[in-house]
């Protein structure tokens, strides 16, 4: 019996477009099982994979590929076979795919970046965003060191939340807390958003959809609609476009099939 057999009786929520980034398949912190659960009850005509879907950096250090990671890949291929348009924009962790720009495999198109046109005709640059990260571009050793530190934070986070669950306290993210509390991290996020907004403007677009920094949000930045998909390591978020043109970030916080929107992130294209 296939892994999708349990989903036959689950009603689907269908969207015009679905954007997913930073799944990090191959890394121990990846929550591919939750993403797979999300995809069993959510579908879209077009699916954008906005980078770091596979974590080549992690796979070079150790081999970690549980069945849920394979099931997720098979689920995507199945959606493509059933008619969904699937576009893969690689990031820095899956940069090995960048040599395949313009190719088509298993129903999936690999592109350096692309432009998504919303219901109202607004154009959105779709790009992972790492090429505007000076640390990734100019100090790769530091980026790899930061990646190891992030993995450590994830492991510590699991330990902390194990005890929180014992006392009935809700999930708390150590790394997200650190990002928001450390001034330099806050400044980094702000600079990243401003830079991506500027890149969208240079492409003649009214908005940008990206990933990379694991921080899901929708807001206007210098007159450009900035949207970040978040990640499937901690926040477990996806960006969706409804048929009426509304964009929303959905958080799949529990293995139980219930979706909870992130505060102040649903936005009508304007």
Domains of the chain: 14-268 (3.60.21.10)
Q: Report CA Rg, the chain.
A: 18
Question: What pLDDT sits at residue 183?
Answer: 44
pLDDT at residue 98 is higher than 70: yes
Question: What pLDDT sits at residue 181?
Answer: 52
Question: What pLDDT sits at residue 189?
Answer: 78
pLDDT at residue 164 is higher than 50: yes
Question: What pLDDT sits at residue 150?
Answer: 54
Question: What pLDDT sits at residue 155?
Answer: 60
HEC profile for 90-152?
A: CCCCCHHHHHHCCCEECCEEECCCEEEECCCCCEEEECCCHHHCHHHHHCHHHHHHHHHHHHH
More confident residue, 60 or 121: 121
Question: What pLDDT sits at residue 188?
Answer: 74
Question: What's the whole-number mean pLDDT along residues 108-136?
Answer: 89
Copy the structure tokens of residue 22: 């930073």
HEC profile for 161-230?
A: HHHHHHCCCCCCCHHHHHHHHCHHHHHHHHHHHHHHHHHHHHCCCCEEEECCCCCCEEEEECCEEEEECC
Q: How far apart are CA 2 and CA 60, in angstroms?
A: 30
Which of the residue ranges 92-96, 131-135, 254-258 would you say has the lowest mean pLDDT? 254-258
């Amino acid at each position: 019996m296939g892994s999708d057999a349990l989903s036959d009786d689950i009603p689907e929520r269908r969207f015009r477009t679905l954007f997913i980034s930073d799944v990090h398949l191959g890394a121990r912190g990846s929550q591919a099982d939750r993403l797979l659960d999300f995809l069993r009850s959510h579908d879209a005509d077009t699916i954008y994979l906005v980078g770091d879907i596979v974590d080549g950096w992690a796979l070079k250090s150790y081999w970690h590929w549980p069945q849920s990671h394979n099931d997720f890949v098979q689920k995507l291929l199945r959606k493509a076979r059933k008619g969904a348009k699937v576009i893969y924009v690689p990031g820095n962790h899956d940069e090995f795919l960048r040599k395949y720009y313009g190719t088509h495999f298993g129903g999936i198109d690999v592109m350096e970046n692309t432009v998504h046109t919303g219901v109202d005709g607004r154009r959105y640059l779709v790009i992972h965003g790492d090429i505007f990260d000076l640390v990734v571009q100019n100090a790769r050793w530091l980026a790899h060191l930061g990646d190891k530190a992030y993995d450590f934070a994830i492991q510590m986070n699991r330990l902390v939340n194990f005890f929180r669950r014992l006392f009935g306290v809700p999930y708390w993210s150590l790394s997200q807390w650190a990002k928001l509390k450390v001034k330099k991290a806050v400044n980094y996020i702000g600079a990243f958003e401003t830079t991506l907004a500027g890149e969208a403007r240079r492409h003649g677009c009214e908005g940008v959809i990206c990933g990379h920094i694991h921080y899901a949000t929708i807001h206007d930045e210098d007159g450009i609609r900035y949207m970040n998909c978040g990640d499937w390591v901690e926040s477990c978020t996806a960006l969706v476009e409804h048929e009426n043109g509304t964009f929303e970030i959905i958080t799949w916080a529990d293995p139980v099939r219930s979706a909870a929107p992130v505060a102040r992130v649903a936005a009508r294209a304007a």
